[in-house]
A and B are shown apart, each in its own frame.
Chain A
Amino acid sequence: MTHAHLSGIDYAVMLAYFACVLGIGALLKRGVKSGNDFFLAGRAVPAWITGLAFLSANLGAQEVIGMGASGAKYGIATSHFYWVGAIPAMVFVGLLMMPFYYGSRARSVPEYLKLRFDEKTRALNAISFAAMTVFSSGISLYAMGKLFNLLLGWDFSVAILLSAAIVLAYTVLGGLTSSIYNEVLQFFLIVFGFAPLVILGLHAVGGWSGLQARLATVATSHGFAAGAYTHAWTYLDQPAHNPIGVERFGLVMGLGFVLSFGYWCTDFLVVQRAMAADSMTSARRTPLLAAFPKMLFPFLVILPGMIALAITGTGGASLVPAKLDALGHPALTATGAAVPDFDLATPMMLVHFFPAGLLGLGITALLASFMSGMAGNVTAFNTVWTYDIYQSYINRDAPDSHYVNMGRIATVGGIALSIVAAYAASRFNDIMDMLQLVFAFVNAPLFATFALGMFWRRTTGHGAFVGLASGILAAALHHGLTLPAGAVTGIKGGFFGVVATYPSELAQTFWTAIWAWSTCFAVTILVSLFTRPRPAEDLKGLVWSLTERPKDGALPWYKRPLTLGLVVLACTLVLNLIFY
């Protein structure tokens, strides 16, 4: 593969972005005076900003590159990540969970677990979360270095060290505010950087109907019905009828309910953005406002992948090239076919369609998404480290300024660890799959713990802890006993012997999550019934039945969270029907 060439105008666009990012950090430094400012952005950020940051905190590399990859692999059904997964979960977290997070004055998700349950449940979550953030920011860094090396011929080390240095500069200076501001900036860069890609791409394949016609050819050549890549629901009646290899129940339960609710409701990385809001109403509106642009994102990030598949599959330029192994040779499957590198679909689209100038904007948008994904992980890491590990177990009674300094040191440490993780990742081939797996292990059972903890007063600390541990164990067992079709025993599963096989990795992950969640749910209830619950007065503000309902009466009806939530759900339903 030949490298794309960037010209002066492309570098000028990139430099403008770097200057802006560092300028924001420098300007914000004056405002950071206390731990509250550094870790919680002073709880003074308006809802439209926290909303966009909530949205783009997870709009990192995995989303932009990964959704394009899935679009090329599974077609429009990838949008279920949004229309079945994220959106309902965001409405749920805004309407029902935010009152506890914001109202309890907990500073982090692990801290909420401590208030509601006990120290050991918090420790389990704090440590596993801190490890996860370092890993995912390291993987993000690695993926970026590899991509820019492959695409533009940049040196791997220069690419990751330069972006790590920039992220370090602005997060150390401005803390969470800086991170949030840059996430919003990056949101607009992605929108304005990718919109022309979709427009030019659709134009090239003859619009939506042209795309449908081309993908019909691709679908039939893969042995599916003609509409398998362009209909979201029609071919989900049987696993064998769609490229994901899953049927409606597995999709709605696994992806929609367990995985998405688990991610959006319990992952501190996203919840932290809403906790920075300036009032309870803003905190609740944060995920709801975020849901509106979120539901349109499939058009921005999934369509490029589908267009790449359509062009490649109908004899055009090869926009989904073959994957290369460590030595630079094309990787082959067991049957000798080339393995397509779906992760390159979106970047190849950029290079193929954009002239000099616009290419600089597209590359800058990609760079920004890598960097803000990393910054999000790092700011969540420094909060959890400082409050839930350092202040809880190492140094309990220091002055506030001490913890701000510790937060800055943790930022440096978090970034250094990410760089180490990035180099470690370059030694393994399937590290991305590994990370996906860790998410399914950690987040899916955690959602059962939260759902029970918030809505069933009787849940006890022992119940939560044992339930969580057995949920993780159940995930490991299920993964160890199953295998996606065509995969080799090992990291992809089957290490305890293969009892069942799934048509795709995604299908396997869905069912791992379902098993983990159900086990945690059942065990938590069982253990709770045999252990002593906490007295009701300790649980005020932490449990639904003992918390005052937030009063929205003073707001005009169209500004109330409930109205917003219902409008969001109605719009999502319409989208599902259009692409049924």
Chain B
Amino acid sequence: MGLDLRLPIGALFLVIGLLLAGYGFLSSPGVPVDRWWGLVLVAFGALMLGLAYRGRRG
């Protein structure tokens, strides 16, 4: 279909993850839950982007 769905999913979760983690670390007094969950989302987003990248090469 011309668009690998893993690309937008990866991008969205990477962005949301960075937003949450950034807020969790930088805001004072800091939000531990946002920190950890943001990192989980970043990992998931990166995984999806990685899969899309591998799919494009293969």
* B3 with A184: CB separation less than 8 A: no
Q: Please, how many angstroms separate the alpha-carbon atoms of A192 and B2 in the complex?
A: 27
A358 B20 Cβ-Cβ under 8 A: yes
Q: Of B19, B37, B41, B44, which is within 8 A of A12 by CB?
A: B19
Assess the A20–B12 pair: CB atoms within 8 A: yes
Looking at the complex, which one of B5, B9, B31 makes contact with A357 (CB distance below 8 Å)?
B31
Is there a chain B Cβ closer than 8 Å to A31's Cβ? Answer: yes
Q: Are A45 and B20 in contact (CB under 8 A)?
A: no
Q: Which of B1-29 contact A (CB under 8 A)?
A: 1-3, 5, 8-9, 11-13, 15-16, 19-20, 23-24, 27
Main secondary structure of the interface of B (DSSP, over half): helix
Report the Cα distance A28→B9, complex, angstroms. 15
Chain A binding surface, main DSSP class: helix
Contacts of A181 in B (CB 8 A): 3, 5, 8
Q: How many Å lie between the Cα of A42 and that of B19 in the bound state?
A: 36
Q: Interface code A3-30, partner B: CB below 8 Å = 1, 0 otherwise?
A: 0000001001100110010011001101
Residue A356 at the chain B interface, CB threshold 8 Å: yes
Contact A42–B1 (Cβ < 8 Å): yes
Interface size on B, residues (CB 8 A): 24
Residue among A41, A42, A181, A200 with the highest chain B CB neighbour number at 10 A: A181
Contact of A361 among B3, B5, B9, B20 (CB under 8 A): B20
Picked from B11, B16, B27, the residue with its CB within 8 Å of the CB of A13 is B16
Contact pattern, A 355-387, Cβ under 8 Å of B = 1, otherwise 0 = 111100100000000000000000000000000
Q: Is the CB of A41 within 8 A of B19?
A: no
**Residue pair A356, B1 in contact (C-beta under 8 Å):** no
Which residues of the other chain, B, contact A30 by a CB distance below 8 angstroms?
2
What residues of A have a CB within 8 angstroms of the CB of B37 in the complex?
192, 196, 358, 361
Chain A residues within 8 Å of B13, by CB: 188, 192
Provide the bound-state CA to CA distance between A361 and B40, in Å: 13
Interface string of A184-199 (1 = CB under 8 A from B): 1100100010001000
Measured between beta carbons, the chain B residues less than 8 angstroms from A49 are 5
Contact A16 B9 (CB under 8 A): no
Would A357 and B24 be within 8 Å (CB), given that A16-B15, A16-B16 are in contact?
yes
> CA A224 – CA B2 in complex, angstroms?
57
Residues of B within 8 Å of A96, CB to CB, are: none
Q: Does any Cβ of B come within 8 Å of A506's Cβ?
A: no
CA distance A181 to B34 in the complex (A): 27
> B32-46 interface mask toward A, CB cutoff 8 Å, 1 = contact, 0 = none?
011001101100100
- Complex CA gap A148/B10 in Å reads 28
Q: Which of B19, B23, B27 contacts A16 (CB 8 A)?
A: B19
A254 to chain B, nearest CB (A): 37
Q: A357 to B34, Cβ gap below 8 A?
A: yes
Mark B residues whose CB is within 8 Å of A. 1-3, 5, 8-9, 11-13, 15-16, 19-20, 23-24, 27, 31, 33-34, 37-38, 40-41, 44
| Beyond A9-B27, A361-B37, 19 extra complex contacts between A and B, CB < 8 Å | A13-B16, A13-B20, A16-B16, A17-B16, A20-B8, A20-B12, A27-B3, A31-B2, A42-B1, A185-B5, A185-B9, A188-B13, A188-B44, A192-B13, A192-B37, A355-B31, A357-B20, A357-B34, A357-B38
Q: List 15 A-B contacts (CB under 8 A).
A: A13-B16, A13-B20, A16-B15, A17-B12, A41-B1, A49-B5, A181-B3, A184-B9, A185-B9, A354-B33, A356-B34, A357-B19, A357-B34, A358-B31, A358-B33
